[in-house]
Every structure is written in C-alpha cells, then in structure tokens.
Amino acid sequence: MRTKKNATAEIDFGGLVNALPGMVWITQSDGHGSFVNRSWREYTGLSLDEALAHGWQTALHPDDLGAFLNSWNAIRQSGVAQEIDGRLRRFDGEYRWFVFHASPLPDSGSVDAHWCWLGVCVDERSTLDGRLRRFFDMLPWQAGFLNTAGISEFSNRQSLNDFHMTQEQLEQWRTSGIIHVDDFEKNVIASTALLSTGKMYDEQIRMLYPGGEYRWTRARCVPVRDAHGNIVRYVTFQIDVDDLKRAETLLAAEVNLLEMVARGEPLGRVLDALSRHVEVLCHGCFCSILMVAPDAKHFRVGAGANIPQAFNEFLEGRTIDGGNDPCSLAVVAKSSVFTADVLEDSRWRGSEWPSLLKVYGYASCCALPIMSGSGEASGVITVYRPKAIGLTPAEQDLVDRFTKIAGIAIDRARADSALQMRERELREALSQLAEGQRLSKTGSFTWDVLADRHNWSEEVRRIFGFNQESTVTMAMVQATVHPEDIDSFESMIGDAVRGAPDFDLVFRILTTQGELRHAHVVGHRADLITDRPVFIGALQDVTERELAEERLNRARAELTHVARVATLSTMTASIAHEVSQPIAGILTNASTLVRMLAAEPPNLVGAAETARRTIRDANRASEVVKRLRAMFTKKLPTLERVDVNDATREVVALSSGELQRAHAVVQTHFAEGLPAVSCDRVQLQQVILNLLLNAADAMSGVVDRPRTLLIQTESGAKDSVRLLVRDSGVGVDPNAVEKLFDAFYTTKAHGMGVGLAISRSIIESHKGRLWAVANEGPGATFSFSIPGAPPEVLAGPVDGLDSHD
C-alpha cells in the first residue's frame, strides 16, 4: 500500500515544473544555472545545454543584465525572496518585460544554496520602469530619465508638450540650440560632473520654447542607485522658474537703478544702465530713451547704447508733433503706443517712420511714456524689435516699471539742477547782499532770545568791531554799548524778552578799539521760525548821519542866531518901547517916593505904595530883558516838554509892540487841553515869532480892509499839535508857495529870505511839518504841526526863562 506520503513523493516534479506555464529555472548562488523548464526554453528558443551554466544570462537584455545581477547579489546576501524587473529576449529576438522572483530552495541554508527563479511576463506598464514613466507623465513639470551613459531614455509628456518636440528631437539638445548659447557651457560642465562623480546637477538655464522665447528653467538631475550604490539611471526634473528669475533680475535691476538715483549719479548714466536692463530682460529688443526738452517741444536722446548712432542722431532734437510717430504720440497722449508690425500699422502710413525703422532693421516698436511726479510726460522709453512681434504682456509690464524709475531719475535730476541753480543764485544773492550791506553799512542778524544765540552778518560784526569768528553773546554786546545809552538799550532788550514784537533804537557803540559809532537797530519777532522768541533785524551804522546831523544842528543854531539877531534889529524900536516904559515908570515912582518921604510928616503909606509900584515896574523891565536874553542867546538846542499855548503867548507878548505898530488886529484862539510837545522851546518860539512878523509885514500895505491876524492852536492826529497864523495881507501865489521856503528868497527890500527856510528846518528837525496856503479870501495862512511828546521826555521849565544864560 502506498501511504499518502509516498503518494506525494511519487509525483514527478520535473514533469510538473516543465508543465508550468511560467518560466522556472534554478541556479546556484554564483549564477551557475542547473535547470530551466520547458516554458523557459520555448520562450527563449535556447536549448537546455545553451541555457545551463551562465547561458541563461544571454537571454537577458544587455542593458538590464548589470542591474539584474546586482539586485540578485543583494537578494542573495539578504537571503530574503525579492523581485527583479528585466527584459527577456524571445526566440524571435523581441524583448518582453518580466518580473523575476528569486527564492532560495528550502533545503539550502547557506549562501551556496540553490535559488529557484520564477519569471512572469508582465505588461510593460506594470513594470517599475513603466510605472515610473506613467508617474512622470502625470507630473506638471518637465521630467525624464537618462541611462547610465547620460543619454535621454525618456522625457515626460510635459517636456514633449512644452517644447513641441519628440523624444528623438529632444535627445539632440547639443545641436538643436534648445539651450541658450550663454548657458550651454555650464550645462556641459555640470553634466560631466554628474556622469563622472554622481554629483547632483542643479543649474538654472534658459531653454528655447516654440515662438522663439527663451525661458529660465531650473534643472536638477540625480543618479538613481541600486541597493549596492551602483548608478542604474539618472532622473531629471525641470521647473520653469522664468517668472521667478525675471522677477529676481527685475528686482535686482530696479534696486541697482534706484541706488544710482539715490547716489545722485548723472542722469545719462542712470538712463544708460536702465536701457541696458530693459534689453537684458526683454530678449532680442533694443531700448531707446528720449527725454522731453525743457521747451516741451523737442526730444533729447537720454540713452540708447545699442541703437544705431545715425538713428540716435535722427532722434536728437526731433519735434514732438503728436501724430506722426509712436514716441511723440506716447508723450502727447500720455499712454503707451504699441506697434507690433510697423509696416502694417495704419497709424504711421504716410509718415517716414516705417521706412526709417526698416533701414535700421526694426519691425516692431513699443513706446511707453515716462511720467514725472507733476503729471507731465518727461520722456519716453521705446523698445524696438527686429521681428514683427511686439512686447508680451509680461514685457510690457516690465518696461512700464522701468518708465517709473526713469520718471524718478528724471525728476530727481531736474530737481537737482533746479536746486543747484537756486544755490548758485543764493550764493550770488548772498555775495550781493554782503556787498550791499557793506556799502549801505547795514547788517542783518537773528537773535534767539532764550538761547542767547546770535547769527550776525559780517557787517554787523564790523560795526561792533567784533571779529568774524567770535561767538557773540548779549553780554558782549552790552559791554560795547555807550554808557550813556546802556539804559535805553537794556530797556529795549528787556521789552523784547518780555514779549514785545518789535524794537527800534538809535544808540552808540564804543568799540573795543575805542571807536565811537552810532547805530540804528530795528528788529521784529519772527514767530514762525521756532517755538521760542527769535528776532530778525537790521543794524545800520548811522555814525556819519548822526555826525552830519550834529553839524547841521550846529549850523542851524548859528544861522538861527543870526536870524534872531536880524529880527532883533527889526524889533529894536518896540523892544526899546517895552523896556523904556517901565523904566520911565520907575523914574516917576522914584521922584514921587522922594517927594513923599520929604514931606512933613512923610507920607509913609503913599511911599510904601509907590515903592511897590517901583518894584513892579522894575520886575516888568527885568522880565522883558530876560525874555529877550532867552530868545537871543546862542545855544545848542535841547529837547523839553513844551506847552505850545504858553510858548505862543510869550511870543505874542514879546512882539505885541511890533504888531501894534503894524496896526494888526490880533485874535488868538488857543485850544484847551493841548498835549505837550517835545521840542526846543526857543527854536519853536522863533518859528512862531517869524510867522507873526511875516504876517505883520504882509499886511503893512493893506489899507482897504482890516489887518486881521488870527493865531490859533489845535490838537491834530496822534497827539500832534497844530498852530496856524492867518493874515489878511498880500497873500501868496498858490502855485509858488514852496518857493517861499527856499533859502534867501525874499520880496522885501531889507529881507534876508532865511526866516521861512530856517523855520521849516526847525520844525522838520522836530519831525513836524510847516506849510503855507493861500486863504479863500485875502491873505495867507502859515501852519505847522509837531508831534506830541512821548512820555519819557522829561518835563522842562515851563516858562523857559531861568534856565539859560
């Protein structure tokens, strides 16, 4: 009886293995074949003898054999069953893909064991290679693989689509020009390194796309190794980084240009660099930059290094006419003008433009206006192309960005040149100012009150006798002010510190060199400069003026004295009368007194009364004499507070004899509450006396009407006081009134003709005015007005009699 076990042992395994539809063979671990089944032999067409030993390996595809053996070696080492892909040659020479399963035979526990191989034919797509290809085809970027010799075996669908090429065409990359000529060499170097050392290829290169456009691609290629580290193929991936790369390049270009602008490099250099950047970023184009000339009617060439010289010369100075060429149109319309094919564009038909561009080899032309910050077109960037293809939207965008930088550069250059011009003008103005200050002896200054900071012009320093370098302080200034003027100077400073908006003072300076100078300073607080008081002002050296005034005053005093003495002579008779009357009274009283004292008994009461009358008359005489002395003494003028009514009354009293002799009917009308004026009392009285005597003279020949003389005072505007003397004399010619005030003009036989001239200069030296008008009726009116005394003028002696010698 056969046991079940025996029945199993009786199975013909050799027959079974031969009957299997799959391929089976057995090798020793060194690859020495000891068995191949029938299916194997039928498929490969090799006999058992041919297949044994290493003969079975001849059926494997030569390209796969190395990898196969390597993989098997790894499997053998690990002792674990695994699969290996490989192509097996059919009897007719065609290769088909198989998956080979290798497993050690159960009885073998060592590396010398036998291995059983099972080969299953698989569809190409299900092999690792096939799966890889399908996977690669799904990728949205370019990918593929190369064999160990670096030859492209497979390029994915994205690659073939992108380049519009077959696998075979792509393999010709060395000669097809698909790689930009400038990137070719680095590609070769990196490829060689990859193949010789296995170092990863990682480069950015420009690849040619259908339509002639090169795009930046980041290509990476890595070796694929088997379990032993042997390279079995290379996998490549390529990603289009053109947008990124352009953005990077654009950014770098923009940064570079803006740095140039910021550094203030000459506009020509900036525009030249800009045009070159445009040419790099817009492949195959030529960039020209035209600027609008200051007259806004012509172009000036700004840049165009790669534009033919003759074309640049043609463009230089060309009129901007708006309709005839793309550049003008872009500037006038302030918008971009794109002409893809200049020969076809109807806008330029009839203009010289198409034929001109043809001469220089350009077919397309895109003009983009450069806008300045003020909204005007300051130029135009024009991009020419030899081919009749305009700019792509990306390129338009890019050039547009460059027009913005060009706008900034042009604005900056114009602002710079305007600034330089202003600086030049300012320098000239300053030197003129300095010259003007020197000539007019007027300097300017600023004074920061709280900081005690002083900014003085050269001239102010010169007037004070300070050197140009010294730091000025208020203490230094005060130390040079004349001791007699320091009080008024300090009170001015005090007012300014306390907030007065202006100051105005004439004071004297005693320079450290011992020179005396008169200075007139005016200042005004400039609130807008800082948050604290700063005065700006001017200071004039008025030394000469003041000295001249002093001389003038002396001369006037001399002349006034002469005139007064002359007046005295005309008044001798009436003065003699004024004096002789009380003296006669004294004489009469004296004899009466003697008589009364000599009587028996002496008339003491009468004598006392008579003595009193004598004293009265003596006082009257002495008073007259005092007044005369006061009037006719030679002295320099002094300012005091004067009541014009009082001063006038005295003059009227003094001249009353004279006026009576002239038969003048005197009327006085003195206004009440008149403000005091600040003047030299004697000089003022002389003016009044002069007017009265002239009026009396003017009426001396009048017989047909009363000789009325009105003397009137009144207050005028701003505390001024006015006095008028109206007569009914011969009158004045209204057209020649001013002549009367000329020195030495007289119509009188014994006149000197200086009275009115002196009177006017006296009144004007008191900042007043003296004038004459013809009356409505007969006669003339002479008036003066004189400003009221400021409060600081000290009250002077009211009668003015006792203060003079």
Stretch that binds ligand ADP, among 158-166, 207-215, 616-624, 687-695 (CB under 6 A): 687-695
Strand residues in 11-108 grouped as ranges (E): 23-28, 33-36, 82-89, 95-104
Stretch that binds ligand ADP, among 283-291, 430-438, 651-659, 730-738 (CB under 6 A): 730-738
DSSP per-residue string spanning 374-439: TSSEEEEEEEEESSS----HHHHHHHHHHHHHHHHHHHHHHHHHHHHHHHHHHHHHHHHHHHHHHH
Stretch that binds ligand ADP, among 110-118, 430-438, 651-659, 750-758 (CB under 6 A): 750-758
Q: In a 3-state reduction of DSSP, which class is residue 779? A: coil
Contact set for ligand ADP, span 218-247 (CB under 6 A): none
Stretch that binds ligand ADP, among 77-85, 190-198, 448-456, 724-732 (CB under 6 A): 724-732
Asked if residue 688 binds ligand ADP (CB under 6 A), the reply is no
Report the DSSP pairing between strands 516-525 and 502-510. Answer: antiparallel
Cα–Cα distance for residue pair 153/142, rounded to 1 Å: 14
Stretch that binds ligand ADP, among 83-91, 192-200, 517-525, 723-731 (CB under 6 A): 723-731
Work out which of 88, 709, 732, 770 binds ligand ADP, going by CB under 6 A. Answer: 732
Q: Are 224 and 232 in contact (CB under 8 A)?
A: yes
Nearest to 763 by CA among 627, 560, 569: 560
User: Smaller CB distance to ligand ADP: residue 195 or 732?
Assistant: 732
Stretch that binds ligand ADP, among 30-38, 553-561, 576-584, 745-753 (CB under 6 A): 745-753
Q: In a 3-state reduction of DSSP, which class is residue 259? A: helix
Asked if residue 745 binds ligand ADP (CB under 6 A), the reply is yes
Asked if residue 740 binds ligand ADP (CB under 6 A), the reply is yes
Work out which of 648, 694, 713, 728 binds ligand ADP, going by CB under 6 A. Answer: 694
Contacts by 739-745, CB closer than 8 A, 24 or more apart? 740/772, 741/770, 741/772
Strand residues in 511-570 grouped as ranges (E): 516-525, 534-541
Asked if residue 753 binds ligand ADP (CB under 6 A), the reply is yes
| Minimum distance from residue 645 beta carbon to ligand ADP (Å) | 21
| Minimum distance from residue 759 beta carbon to ligand ADP (Å) | 7
Asked if residue 726 binds ligand ADP (CB under 6 A), the reply is no
Asked if residue 737 binds ligand ADP (CB under 6 A), the reply is no
Q: Are 214 and 208 in contact (CB under 8 A)?
A: yes
Stretch that binds ligand ADP, among 309-317, 473-481, 746-754, 761-769 (CB under 6 A): 746-754
Q: Residue 379: CB partners within 8 Å, gap ≥ 6?
A: 289, 290, 291, 292, 302, 331, 369, 370, 406, 407, 410
Q: Are 596 and 608 in contact (CB under 8 A)?
A: no
Cα–Cα distance for residue pair 335/321, rounded to 1 Å: 15
| Minimum distance from residue 663 beta carbon to ligand ADP (Å) | 15
Stretch that binds ligand ADP, among 40-48, 113-121, 228-236, 722-730 (CB under 6 A): 722-730
Cα–Cα distance for residue pair 338/368, rounded to 1 Å: 8
Work out which of 698, 723, 786, 789 binds ligand ADP, going by CB under 6 A. Answer: 698
Asked if residue 66 binds ligand ADP (CB under 6 A), the reply is no
Residue 797, token pair as written in the block:
């002696």
Residue 552, token pair as written in the block:
């003038």
Asked if residue 730 binds ligand ADP (CB under 6 A), the reply is yes
Nearest to 136 by CA among 149, 127, 147, 145: 145
Q: Which residues pair with 104 in a beta bridge?
A: 115
Nearest to 60 by CA among 34, 10, 112, 25: 25
Stretch that binds ligand ADP, among 274-282, 670-678, 694-702, 783-791 (CB under 6 A): 694-702
Asked if residue 55 binds ligand ADP (CB under 6 A), the reply is no
DSSP per-residue string spanning 695-711: HHHHHTT--SS--EEEE
| Minimum distance from residue 744 beta carbon to ligand ADP (Å) | 8
What track of x and - describes contact with ligand ADP for positions 762 through 801 (by CB under 6 A)? ------------------x-x-------------------
Stretch that binds ligand ADP, among 251-259, 619-627, 681-689, 726-734 (CB under 6 A): 726-734
Asked if residue 747 binds ligand ADP (CB under 6 A), the reply is yes
| Minimum distance from residue 765 beta carbon to ligand ADP (Å) | 17
User: Smaller CB distance to ligand ADP: residue 437 or 783?
Assistant: 783
| Minimum distance from residue 550 beta carbon to ligand ADP (Å) | 25
Stretch that binds ligand ADP, among 34-42, 126-134, 528-536, 754-762 (CB under 6 A): 754-762
| Minimum distance from residue 562 beta carbon to ligand ADP (Å) | 12
Can you give the C-alpha Rg of the chain in angstroms?
62
Asked if residue 569 binds ligand ADP (CB under 6 A), the reply is no
Residue 535: left if φ>0, alpha if ψ -120 to 50, beta else—which one?
beta
Work out which of 746, 765, 778, 799 binds ligand ADP, going by CB under 6 A. Answer: 746
- Could you tell me the CA-to-CA distances from 201 to 186, 198, 235, 400, 602 in Å, in that order? 10, 9, 10, 36, 159
Stretch that binds ligand ADP, among 82-90, 246-254, 576-584, 693-701 (CB under 6 A): 693-701
What's the residue count for the chain? 805
The sign one gets for the Cα dihedral 83, 84, 89, 94 is: positive
Asked if residue 662 binds ligand ADP (CB under 6 A), the reply is no
User: Smaller CB distance to ligand ADP: residue 670 or 745?
Assistant: 745
> Does 210 sit behind a cis peptide bond, omega within 30 degrees of 0 on the bond before it?
no
Q: Total number of residues binding ligand ADP (CB under 6 A)?
A: 23
Stretch that binds ligand ADP, among 598-606, 647-655, 657-665, 751-759 (CB under 6 A): 751-759
Q: In a 3-state reduction of DSSP, which class is residue 68? A: helix
* Residue number with the smallest Cβ distance to ligand ADP: 755
| Minimum distance from residue 706 beta carbon to ligand ADP (Å) | 16
| Minimum distance from residue 713 beta carbon to ligand ADP (Å) | 18
Phi, psi of 750 (to 5 degrees): -110, 20
Q: Residue 595: CB partners within 8 Å, gap ≥ 6?
A: none
Q: Are 62 and 86 in contact (CB under 8 A)?
A: no
Q: Where are the alpha helices (DSSP H) in 264-392?
A: 267-281, 309-315, 326-333, 353-359
Work out which of 291, 756, 762, 770 binds ligand ADP, going by CB under 6 A. Answer: 756
Asked if residue 727 binds ligand ADP (CB under 6 A), the reply is yes
Work out which of 222, 590, 752, 774 binds ligand ADP, going by CB under 6 A. Answer: 752
User: Smaller CB distance to ligand ADP: residue 238 or 690?
Assistant: 690
| Minimum distance from residue 725 beta carbon to ligand ADP (Å) | 7
User: Smaller CB distance to ligand ADP: residue 312 or 712?
Assistant: 712
Asked if residue 751 binds ligand ADP (CB under 6 A), the reply is yes
| Minimum distance from residue 792 beta carbon to ligand ADP (Å) | 34
Work out which of 143, 281, 695, 762 binds ligand ADP, going by CB under 6 A. Answer: 695
Residue 268: left if φ>0, alpha if ψ -120 to 50, beta else—which one?
alpha
Q: Where are the alpha helices (DSSP H) in 155-299?
A: 157-163, 167-170, 173-176, 181-197, 242-263, 267-281
Asked if residue 51 binds ligand ADP (CB under 6 A), the reply is no
**Cα angle for residues 290, 293, 296 (degrees, 5° grid):** 110
Work out which of 729, 768, 788, 800 binds ligand ADP, going by CB under 6 A. Answer: 729
Task: Point out which residues bind ligand ADP (CB under 6 A).
Answer: 690, 694-695, 698, 727, 729-732, 740, 745-748, 751-757, 780, 782
